[in-house]
Chain A
Amino acid sequence: MSSKAAVTDASHAAVASSETTPRQSPQYKAWLAGQQREKRLIAIAQFGLVVLFLLLWEIAPRMHWVNPMLTSYPSAVVQAFLQMIADGQFGEHVFVTLTEVVVSFAIAMVLGTIIAVLLWMSPQLERVLDPFLVVLNALPKIALVPIFYIWLGATGSIYAVAVAVALFITILMLYTGFSQSDPNKIKLVRTLGATRWQMLTKVVLPGNVHTFIATLKANAGLSLVGVIVGEFQASKAGLGYLITYGSQIFRMDMVMAAIVLLGFISLAIYALIQLVEMRINKPAARAD
Chain B
Amino acid sequence: MIVPKIEFRHVNLRYFTPKGETLALRDINFKVEQGEFVSIVGQSGCGKSTLLSLLSGLIKPTEGEVLIDGKTVTGPSPQVGFMLQQDSLFEWRSIVDNALLGPEIRGDDMGAARRKAEALLTRYGLGDFLHSKPSELSGGMRQRAALARTMCLTPDILLLDEPFSALDFQTRLSIADEIGDIIRKENKTAVLVTHDIPEAIAMADRVIVLSRRPGRIKSIHDIAFPSHGNDRPGSFAARETTEFPSYFNTVWEELEVHVE
| A interface residue numbers (CB < 8 A to B) | 13-16, 182, 184-185, 187-194, 198, 202-203, 206-207, 209, 284-288
Which of these, A184, A194, A198, A207, contacts B86 with CB under 8 Å?
A184
Which of these, A188, A206, A286, contacts B92 with CB under 8 Å?
A206
Which of these, B84, B90, B106, B133, contacts A285 with CB under 8 Å?
B133
Does A192 contact B86, Cβ atoms closer than 8 Å? no
Tell me the residues in window 72-100 of chain B with beta carbons closer than 8 Å to chain A beta carbons.
Answer: 75-78, 80, 82, 84-86, 88, 90-92
With A16-B141, A187-B58, A192-B106 as contacts: A284 and B91 at CB distance below 8 Å:
yes
Whether a CB of chain A sits under 8 angstroms from the CB of B173 is no
Does B86 contact A193, Cβ atoms closer than 8 Å? no
Tell me the residues in window 204-244 of chain B with beta carbons closer than 8 Å to chain A beta carbons.
Answer: none
Residues of B within 8 A of A206 (CB): 90, 92
Does A193 contact B75, Cβ atoms closer than 8 Å? yes
Can you name the residue of chain A whose Cβ is closest to the Cβ of B135? A285
Query: Can you identify 11 A-B contacts, CB atoms within 8 angstroms?
Result: A191-B76, A191-B84, A192-B101, A193-B76, A193-B106, A202-B104, A206-B90, A207-B90, A207-B92, A285-B133, A288-B135
Does B136 contact A15, Cβ atoms closer than 8 Å? yes
A206→B93 CA distance, assembly (Å): 10
Can you name the residue of chain A whose Cβ is closest to the Cβ of B86? A184
Can you name the residue of chain A whose Cβ is closest to the Cβ of B93? A206
Does B105 contact A284, Cβ atoms closer than 8 Å? no
A209→B91 CA distance, assembly (Å): 12
Residues of B within 8 A of A187 (CB): 58, 84, 88
Residues of A within 8 A of B91 (CB): 284, 287
A189→B150 CA distance, assembly (Å): 11
Whether a CB of chain A sits under 8 angstroms from the CB of B102 is yes
Which of these, A184, A185, A193, contacts B85 with CB under 8 Å?
A184
Q: How far is the CB of A197 from chain B (nearest CB, A)?
A: 11
A288→B86 CA distance, assembly (Å): 13
Which among B77, B91, B106, B141 has the highest number of chain A CB atoms within 10 Å?
B91
Q: How far is the CB of A183 from chain B (nearest CB, A)?
A: 10
Residues of A within 8 A of B129 (CB): 16
With A13-B135, A198-B105 as contacts: A191 and B82 at CB distance below 8 Å:
yes
Q: How far is the CB of B131 from chain A (nearest CB, A)?
A: 11
Q: How far is the CB of A189 from chain B (nearest CB, A)?
A: 6
With A16-B136, A284-B133 as contacts: A193 and B78 at CB distance below 8 Å:
yes
Can you name the residue of chain B whose Cβ is closest to the Cβ of A285? B135
Q: How far is the CB of B169 from chain A (nearest CB, A)?
A: 17
